[in-house]
Structure 1
Amino acid sequence: MFAASGSVWEISQAELAVRMVLAAALGGAIGIEREWNNHAAGFRTHILVCLGAATIMLMSIYGFSQFVNEPNVQVDPARLAAQVISGIGFLGAGAILRNGSGIKGLTTAASIWTVAAIGLCVGAGFLTAAFLCTFLVLVSLYVLNKWEKQLLRHRRTHKLEVTFSNDPEIVGRIAEVFIRRQMDISQLRIHPDESEEGAMKLEFKVKRIRFEKLLEAVGEVGRLEGIKAVETDGLDSPLAA
């Protein structure tokens, strides 16, 4: 986009500043989407990753230009960039959280890794790829996310934990509540409740058809005789999954 000053190993101060500001802007654009959806790595994190990657790329290409003409010196502009790609993994790993049998943060970890790649593109002056990648990432995170939720809305499951007195017939009554509403039960497990002597805990997953039906079922289970507590993985929003 910009013409390098002098030779391929030199860059003007203005172009240097433009690339660094552009990296911060592109990284921030992706970070805003993550921040808006309350993910672990948000606006500032994505800016720092993209800007840091761009700075390292700029240093890798132009930071050692004074040694280019030295005898027995081989310049490899991609050497530091390769370390960014492999080293950014520690940030991605920090964004991944395990919650029981589920894992959260994989998309955010992937966005951090992709933002690093965008920063490297900006630092190297590969601006068309940087803009295109940013656009496709935003489409993936925002547009495709909504499409995916709509497509899989009937496949979502809720995890429920029901604490009840030690009565085998209660399990059948609980199952009847959900079966009557045509809601599938899976991964059922019964074990003693460690927090209360003589009580049992039933853990299972329910395939949700409509949010209203799920609320009705949970309310009815809570009113059954012998039920001490009903806990779920979140019923505060129709979009909870």
Structure 2
Amino acid sequence: MIAGTWCQLVDLLAAFTLSAMIGLEREFRQKSAGMRTHALVGLAAALIMLVSKYGFSDVLSAGRVILDPSRVAAQVVSGIGFIGGGVIFMRRDAVRGLTTAASVWLTAAVGMACGAGLVELALAATAAHFIIMFAFPYFTRLLPQIHPAQTRLDVSYTDGRGILRHILVACTRLRFAVDHVHIAQDGDCAAPLLRDGASTTPVVTLSMQVRGRRPVSHLIAALATIEGVQNVGTAGDGGLD
């Protein structure tokens, strides 16, 4: 009995150590879920697995009560999703925290493996984690880069309100590069007037080439929300009101 308890303590210690190591990498990168979070997740997952395996031995009866530790493991897998989902959030139309959420998920698996006595698998998974986090970025930098396609946008906006600055700021914020900018006022082309028909405030049409890694629809949607912008669209599509 004492030998079995020491083995369980060793499994618990292994889960704590490996989980803290994974969390240390996240802490070094200043992520939201750091060393403490990962250590707690791995330790708790290992403890749950140990309780599932050894915590009901006093109620087992041959042919009457059957223990199924896999049921508790399945609940850990589904429950850890709440913690992983808590670190995923949107910022400026970009998803953040996916890698941290995946590392939390892996930490739970490492803790479960230690709790189940599969320390060798836990060590291999931890080593794979560090390979993914430190080696993969160097490999991805060596891959040939696909140059994003250029799209011509036509933006019509009310003149004299400083809207051009807001348009360029929106392009920069969404990481779109801007080239070949051309501005046409009422006297240069048949630029539309304001929709009420009563105002003669000039409307400027801005034509520009944009390129970025995101779909251009994200930029169009952002520009359409700027106050004073009358029409936004790719060249030849008629724009989006």
Q: Which stretch of structure 1 is more off in the superposition, 66-75 or 29-38?
A: 66-75
**CA-CA distance at 1:105 after TM superposition:** 1.1
Match of 2:179 in 1: 175
Map 1:155-170; keep pairs closer than 5 Å.
166-167=158-159
Cα deviation digits, residues 155-183 of structure 1 (max 9, x gap): 699xxxxxx98459x68xx6326xxxx98
- Cα displacement (A) at 1:152: 6.7
143-152 vs 89-98, which moves further = 143-152
> Quick one: which of 42, 53, 72 aligns to 2:34?
42
Residue 12, structure 1, aligned to residue 13, structure 2: no
* Residues 1:85 and 2:112 aligned together: no
Counterpart check, 1:62 vs 2:54: yes
Residue aligned with 1:88, SS: helix
Q: Which runs of 5+ in 2 are unaligned?
A: 150-155, 168-177, 182-208, 233-241
Q: Which amino acid aligns with 1:191?
A: A
Give TM-score, length-normalised by structure 1. 0.63
Distance 2:148 2:107 in 1: 30
Supply the distance in 2 between the matched residues of 1:90 and 1:63 (Cα, whole angstroms): 25
The change in CA–CA distance for 1:201 and 1:24 in structure 2 (over 3 A counts) is farther
Which residues of 2 match residues 200-239 of structure 1 at below 5 A? none
Q: Give the structure 2 partner of residue 161 of structure 1.
A: none
Higher mean C-alpha deviation, range 183-192 or range 43-52: 183-192
Cα deviation for residue 39 of structure 1 reads: 1.6
Structure 1 or 2, whichever has the larger Rg, is 2
Change (3 A) 1:200 1:30: farther
Pick aligned residue for 1:193 from 199, 202, 226: 226
User: 1:81 is matched by which residue type in structure 2?
Assistant: A
Contact 2:14–2:119 under 8 Å retained in 1: no
8 Å contact kept, 2:148–2:211: no
Unaligned runs of 5+ in 1: 158-163, 203-241
Deviates further, 82-91 or 106-115 = 106-115
CA distance in 2, matches of 1:87, 1:59: 16
Q: Does structure 2 conserve the Cα–Cα contact (< 8 Å) formed by 1:193 and 1:201?
A: no
Q: Is the 8 A contact 2:158 2:230 kept in 1?
A: yes
How many residues end up aligned between the 2 structures? 180
Do 1:192 and 1:201's aligned partners in 2 also have CA atoms closer than 8 Å? no
Deviation at 1:65, TM superposition (A): 1.0
SS at match of 2:33: coil
User: Residue by residue, what CA displacement relative to the aligned partner does 1:14-48 show, whole Å, maximum 9, x if unpaired?
Assistant: 22221111101111111111111122211111101
Distance 1:52 1:146 in 2: 33
